[in-house]
Amino acid sequence: MDRNHPHRQLALMRQSFFDQGYLDEQFIQLEELQDDANPNFVEEVVTSYYRDSARLILNIEQALEKKPLDFNKLDGYMHQFKGSSSSIGAEKVKAECTQFREYCRAGNGEGCIRTFQQLKKEYTTLKKKLEAYFQLARQAGPSETACRPK
């Protein structure tokens, strides 16, 4: 039925985020916190994440331009970034953060730079996917929570 179609699309989109490893269990935890009192809680948290982490990304970019690289500082920024990414369930972004920190510990500047490029890609891809998801959710209107992954 036409009325159900956007909801089904929404559910499939959501499932793909988990199947493709963009999001993990923590995102479901956020969904479980959403209620009638805060019907847009997940979107608010995600919006805060992207707003707040933009500053961190800028700090890391600036730090990567300095010579020699301050690996302690970079690790500190990435620790913060990993923490927030983990809190919203951004699995791929989190994995790149972990890799970056390993390169920091090894003092591998090229590895850091390379990983950071990959991290930004994952970060931007997730942002686009979630923006599309929340937009579709608004169009679809209120519904029962979509099926959880098995």
Partner 1 sequence: MGFKNINIGTKEGVSNVVGTALLSSPRINREQMKNIQTNISTALVVDDDIINRKIHRKLLDNLGIESETVTNGKEAVDVHCTGKNFDLILMDLEMPIMNGIEATKKLREMGIHSMIAGVSTRSLEEEKQEFMDAGLNDFKEKPLTVAKLASILHKFCEDDLEPVTD
The residues that touch partner 1, with contacts defined as CB under 8 A, are 25-26, 28-30, 32-33, 35, 37-38, 41, 44-45, 48-49, 52, 79-80, 82-84, 86-88
Q: Which is nearer to partner 1, 18 or 114 (CB)?
A: 18
We find the least distance from the C-beta atom of residue 131 to partner 1, in angstroms, to be 17
Q: What is each CA distance from 128 to 52, 98, 103, 104, 121, in whole angstroms?
A: 17, 22, 28, 28, 11
Nearer to partner 1, 2 or 35 (CB): 35
SS3 120: helix
Taking the least distance from each CB to partner 1, the nearer of 57 and 113 is 57
